[in-house]
């Protein structure tokens, strides 16, 4: 069953990554269609209970909405994160809540890597390290000078979600 789920997930992600990279948008109907199919597969195959499915969907939605609040992602990325979290939960043997949170963390990891790469191109390696250390110090109350560096105007979230899903599945399978 997991091979079918992986096949459906690959098809969904390929479609979304292509349209996100080319047109900078994804279709809501695709998210809805794959979500309904994913819920059906997950529930009727007995992979997860209705309660676990609800936990996965709600946690992925909350994580996605938090990312939207802090301007890390767009609404399409949130919908994609919810659908991918459901399909990934069919493959991995983790708890429902941990699956949604870990997938979001991997998505953020690749987003952060792209941001740091862009920061290095703008400020140089030493400047990027200094900037990251200043931001780390600001967590503990240090005041930062106002800098307006536009790192990533519109990073395609589908790509980082795809990378996050691949890495997460690879870590849990091996």
| pTM assigned to the model | 0.80
pLDDT at residue number 97: 80
pLDDT at residue number 106: 86
Alpha carbon distance 16, 30 (integer Å) = 9
Nearest of 76, 79, 82 to residue 60 by alpha carbon: 82
- For the chain, first and last CA: distance in Å? 18
pLDDT higher than 60, residue 38: yes
Alpha carbon distance 126, 42 (integer Å) = 48
Cβ–Cβ under 8 Å, residues 12 and 30: yes
Query: Average pLDDT in the 110-116 region?
Result: 81
State the chain's mean pLDDT as an integer.
84
Neighbours of 31 (CB within 10 A): 18
pLDDT higher than 90, residue 99: no
pLDDT higher than 70, residue 153: no
Lowest mean pLDDT among 13-17, 86-90, 149-153: 149-153
Alpha carbon distance 99, 138 (integer Å) = 30
Bigger pLDDT: 2 vs 133: 133
């Amino acid at each position: 069953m997991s091979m079918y789920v992986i096949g459906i997930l690959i098809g969904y992600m390929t479609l979304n990554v292509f349209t996100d990279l080319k047109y900078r948008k994804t279709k809501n109907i695709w998210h809805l269609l794959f979500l309904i199919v994913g819920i059906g597969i997950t529930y009727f195959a007995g992979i997860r209970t209705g309660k676990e499915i609800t936990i996965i969907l709600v946690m992925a939605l909350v994580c996605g909405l938090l990312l939207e609040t802090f301007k890390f992602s767009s609404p399409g990325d949130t919908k994609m994160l919810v659908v991918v979290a459901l399909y990934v939960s069919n493959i991995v043997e983790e708890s429902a809540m941990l699956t949604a949170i870990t997938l979001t963390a991997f998505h953020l990891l690749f987003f952060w890597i792209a941001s740091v790469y862009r920061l290095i191109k703008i400020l140089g390696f030493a400047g990027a390290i200094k900037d990251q250390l200043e931001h780390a110090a600001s967590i503990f109350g240090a005041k930062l000078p106002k800098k307006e560096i536009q790192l990533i105007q519109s990073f395609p979230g589908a790509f980082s979600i795809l990378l996050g899903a691949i890495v997460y599945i690879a870590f849990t399978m091996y």
